[in-house]
């Protein structure tokens, strides 16, 4: 519960930072000699997009960044948009899952085969991080009841459905900057870890 509040607070801070950056950009556009007004609405939209891209280049990745994307043999795509190391000693990986299979799909094999995780069906419970340099595998964090600190998908994915996910792991050493994210039968996705605030 505390981890979810932390994620919500971080998303809110990111939104405020982006809004503040856009506000400063708009305020600073008044003294450009009128060039922006001459370029029309498309240039204005482009300028706003550039400003938002700069605001998202902070240490915490934005929601539209793509660290890695892999596609399974069943047409399901896993997109990872952030992997953040927090001061609490864990890494939170988040992104989205898209069902491109053309039929209803349920991630039953993603829950893993550990008996402790048996109550986490249709979830990210079977995900892991692999530190190839340190030769270690990090399993998903779980509470004392065996519930994973991850997304549990409710119901199946209808064709073309897209759902967000998060999964939390023990953090590798600070010297480890890149790991492989693995879940179910999806190909491994190499991701870079960013430092949280």
Q: What is the pLDDT of residue 192?
A: 95
Contact 62/18 with Cβ under 8 angstroms?
A: yes
SS3 of residue 121 by DSSP: coil
Q: How many whole angstroms separate alpha carbon 195 and alpha carbon 92?
A: 11
Helix intervals (H) in the chain: 2-28, 35-55
Six-digit token pair at 166? 């998060």
Q: How many CA atoms lie within 13 A of 109 on its CB side?
A: 9
Asked if pLDDT for residue 43 goes beyond 70, the answer is no
φ, ψ of residue 90 in degrees (nearest 5) = -135, 165
Say which residue the tokens 């280049």 belong to. 57
Q: How many whole angstroms separate alpha carbon 120 and alpha carbon 143?
A: 12
Asked if pLDDT for residue 135 goes beyond 80, the answer is yes
Give CA angle at 169 (100, 4), nearest 5°.
80
pLDDT for 67-117, tens place per residue? 999 999 889 999 999 999 998 899 999 999 999 999 999 998 898 888 777
Q: What is the pLDDT of residue 125?
A: 92
Binned at pLDDT 50, 70 and 90, residue 157 comes out as: very high
Torsion angle, CA of 67/13/142/73, rounded to 10 degrees? -30
Pick the CATH number of 68-195 from 3.30.70, 1.10.357, 2.60.40, 1.10.3470: 2.60.40
Binned at pLDDT 50, 70 and 90, residue 197 comes out as: low
Q: What is the pLDDT of residue 190?
A: 96
SS3 of residue 51 by DSSP: helix
Domain edges within the chain: 2-55, 68-195
């Amino acid at each position: 519960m505390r981890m979810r509040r932390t994620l919500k607070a971080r998303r809110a801070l990111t939104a405020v930072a982006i809004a503040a950056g856009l506000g400063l950009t708009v305020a600073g556009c008044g003294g450009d000699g009128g060039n922006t007004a001459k370029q029309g609405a498309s240039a204005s939209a482009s300028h706003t997009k550039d400003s938002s891209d700069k605001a998202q280049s902070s240490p915490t990745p934005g929601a539209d960044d793509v660290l890695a994307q892999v596609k399974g043999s069943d047409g399901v795509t896993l997109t990872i948009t952030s992997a953040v190391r927090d001061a609490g000693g864990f890494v939170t990986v988040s992104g989205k899952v898209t069902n491109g299979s053309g039929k209803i799909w349920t991630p039953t094999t993603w829950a893993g085969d550990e008996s402790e995780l048996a109550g986490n069906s249709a979830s990210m419970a079977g995900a892991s991080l692999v530190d190839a340099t340190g030769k270690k595998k990090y399993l998903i964090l779980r509470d004392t009841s065996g519930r994973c600190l991850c997304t549990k998908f409710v119901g199946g994915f209808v064709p073309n459905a897209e759902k967000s996910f998060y999964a939390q792991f023990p953090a590798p050493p600070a010297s480890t900057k890149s790991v492989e994210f693995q879940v179910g039968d999806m190909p491994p996705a190499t991701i870079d870890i960013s430092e949280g605030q």
